Structure 1
Amino acid sequence: MSLRVDRRAVSVAVLLTASAFVLAVLLIGTGDFPIAPWDVVRTVLGNGSPADDFIVNDLRMPRVLVALLVGAALGMSGAVFQSVSRNPLGSPDLLGFGYGSAVGALVVIILFNGSAGAVAVGALVGGLLAGIAVYLLAYKKGIQGYRLVLVGIGASAVLVAVIQYLITKAQLVEASRALVWLTGSLAGRDWAQVWPLLAVCAVLFPVILGHGRALRMMEMGDDAAYALGVPVERTRLLLMLAAILLTTAASAAAGPISFIALAAPQLARRLTRSPGGNLLTAGLMGSVLLLVSDWASQRAFGADQLPVGVVTGLVGGVYLLWLLVTERKAGRI
């Protein structure tokens, strides 16, 4: 056991936590019926008026909590995959797990006209099956970073084709419902989405954080990690399974929110200037990014509210292009 901490990393984590709290309060107070930040805090503590209590606790609090949990889940899962693959492009967005969840959800929507709960289960199963398939196809005496990314990109292309086929075969109502889900949105989220996602995060966050030291050693290479006593394949499989479950749970709760898992770990690493996965700061950065995107989707476009998935897609696409140019200049791709 070591109690040594990185002061800069701790400072960044504290700053991100404070930012997430402030953004959450501001977002709860934002809407057609605005509420002052101090009134939001007072209502959360149980001292608000009946009208404020209904708006805050029943209408807006679940949406903000889903945004916090989904952002943290995507940020932490992205950090795991980027560390395991030792590649900044090793994100669930590009490895096909989000598309696997989309296929599972669309099968339930289009073929079975399932309820919201059934769609969530379909997304979980689809994402998990896609993750297992990518892992098995990329495995050859271990997992190599670029092989994992290339297999994931190929799987994504196949899954996108399946999604397009399902939409073309759907009736108008089912196709409209599928397209709304595919966009990724926090609108209409209630406590039914909060509790299952909170349970998954409560179980998997400690599992991933508890393996943070082993993950840092694995970034030095499998041989070095073996020499330091890390059971590499078992640890890699456990972490990838936990990260896949986090990604699919986030997709089941809010649809496929793109690029948070790609950008959050990289931004966290640049802020902390620390080696390793920066798991905690990546999760906090994911929450902050999704809260900012949700605020922008509600307020930055006037009366026309956009699904948050559109905003993250626009920003994330620009970030991905910048990352590709940076990696090319550095000679890594």
Structure 2
Amino acid sequence: MTHGRERRADVRAIGICTTIAALLLGLAGLAMTIGAVTLGVGEVLAAFGGGKNAFIVVQYRAPRVVVSILAGLSFGLAGVFLQGALRNPLASPDVVGITKWAGLGAFVAALATPPAWATWSIPVGVIAGALIGAAALLFIGRRFGGGIAALALTGVALGMLAQAVMQYIMVLFPTRADQSMLWLAGSVYGSSAGDVLALSLWLVACLPLIFFATLRLDAGGFGDETLISIGLSPTALRGGLVVVSVLLCAGGVAAVGSMGFLGLLAPHVARLLVGPRARHLVPTSALIGALALSSADLIGRIVALPNEIPAGIVAAVIGGPYLVFLLIKEAGRHA
């Protein structure tokens, strides 16, 4: 009976992932046709063969669509691993301030190094900023008990601190204000083939870590004493999940800036659809993250034509109320 139940759960998860992937593919095709210049499906296909709209489709829209998918996937995975590491449903990289620190690290790196070094200095700054934000969160949060409310409030405070520092730097270096605003808001605008290549290589490099983190994710739900009794180190397990989350978050932030709430929404929706088992939860969270960011970018492109609203603002409009709902739900559960 147990095997039958697991088989049904596997079939359900495969069906849901296939459906989400189909929706994502359809949304990507729609994003190729919609914009300041509306194109037909035939014109889009002709553009890939070198037609008159090749610049719009190949150089502008296609990289933007692919980056939104890859970055959304990164944020979705980062959220599910961080929630598993901290056993906290609110512990997504955006809510606890890690994405803000990653954006701050990128901006500081861009200011502190010559423009010719930006290819490697900004990713290094993103990783450094994300690691500093995660370390500060764990250190300060544990001082206040390490509970859900403590980590959430500490993360919000740390995120506000990072944003304040970035705004102060903007005052000191006003010529870089436009770039910093993109980091603060989160945007897929201006994505290039180089961004696609860089983010793809980063995710490929992270694949072994994602695989091993997925294998350990279910164990992360156990208490420390239980982990020790089965021969696992709680510190190594949770620390490893946090590191994988930070690396994935850093890749997403390096590509699209400080994108909010995707790492919170994707795991929660995935958990409602396929349950808490890691082998179902991880791929579903990744696909939902990709679908959410692609949808946010497309909405931002079309609601105010010919102007655009950054995808991060659209995501925040949806994710902010959802976070309030989760806080109320958790408060009621612990009342």
User: Is the structural similarity TM-score above 0.5?
Assistant: yes
| CA deviation string 1:279-324 (max 9, x = no partner) | 1110100000011111100112333311111111111112111222
Match of 1:86 in 2: 87
In 2: Cα distance, 1:122 partner to 1:311 partner:
26
Pairwise CA distance, 1:151: 4.3
Matches within 5 A, 1:179-198: 179-198=181-200
Preserved contact between residue 85 and residue 145 of structure 1 (Cα < 8 Å): no
Match of 1:296 in 2: 299
Aligned counterparts of 2:148 and 2:32: Cα–Cα separation in 1: 41
2:232 is the alignment partner of 1:226: no
What CA distance in whole angstroms lies between the structure 2 residues aligned with 1:228 and 1:17?
Answer: 37
1:102 is matched by which residue type in structure 2? Answer: G
From the two aligned structures, give the one with the greater helix fraction. 2
Question: What one-letter code is carried by the residue in structure 2 that aligns with 1:270?
Answer: L
- Mapped to 2, the partners of 1:324 and 1:249 lie a distance apart of 28
Range that drifts further, 247-256 or 51-60:
51-60
Write the deviation string for residues 188-242 of structure 1: whole angstroms up to 9, x where unpaired: 1101211121111112244223332321122132333333444432222222111
3-state DSSP class of the match of 1:240? helix
Whichever residue aligns with residue 98 of structure 1, its letter is T
Distance 1:43 1:114, change over 3 A: closer
Other-structure match for 1:8: 12
Candidates 22, 28, 41, aligned match of 1:24 = 28
Residue 317 (structure 2) pairs with residue 314 (structure 1)? yes
Of 237, 240, 245, 2:239 maps to 237
Match of 1:108 in 2: 109
Alignment of 1:205-224 (within 5 A): 205-224=207-226
1:114 Cα deviation from its structure 2 partner: 4.2
Distance of aligned partners of 1:43 and 1:167 in 2 relative to their CA distance in 1, 3 Å threshold: closer
Structure 1: which 5+ runs fail to align? none
Q: CA RMSD in A?
A: 2.8
**Equivalent residue, structure 2, for 1:327:** 330
Taking only the aligned residue pairs, the percentage that are identical comes to: 28
Q: Please tell me whether the aligned partners of residues 104 and 127 of structure 1 are also in contact (alpha carbons under 8 angstroms).
A: yes
Question: C-alpha distance in 2, partners of 1:84/1:50?
Answer: 49
Distance 2:326 2:72 in 1: 20
The CA deviation at 1:158 is 3.1
The separation in 2 between residues aligned to 1:217 and 1:147, in whole angstroms, is 23
- Look up the equivalent residue of 2:200 and give its one-letter code: L
Q: Deviations over 1:144-200 (max 9, x none)?
A: 7666545434433432332232223223x2223322332211111101211121111
Tell whether the 8 Å contact from 2:95 to 2:260 is kept in structure 1 after alignment. Answer: no
The residue correspondences of 1:245-284 to structure 2 (distance < 5 A) are 245-276=247-278, 278-284=281-287
Q: TM-score, normalised by structure 2?
A: 0.86
Indicate whether 1:129 and 2:132 are aligned: yes
Q: What is the TM-score of this pair, normalised by structure 1?
A: 0.86
Aligned-pair CA distance for 1:77 = 0.3
Deviation of residue 42 (structure 1)? 6.7
Counterpart in 2 of 1:164? 167
Q: Which amino acid aligns with 1:156?
A: G
The answer (yes or no) to whether the contact 1:109–1:174 under 8 Å persists in 2 is no
Other structure's SS at 2:188 match: coil
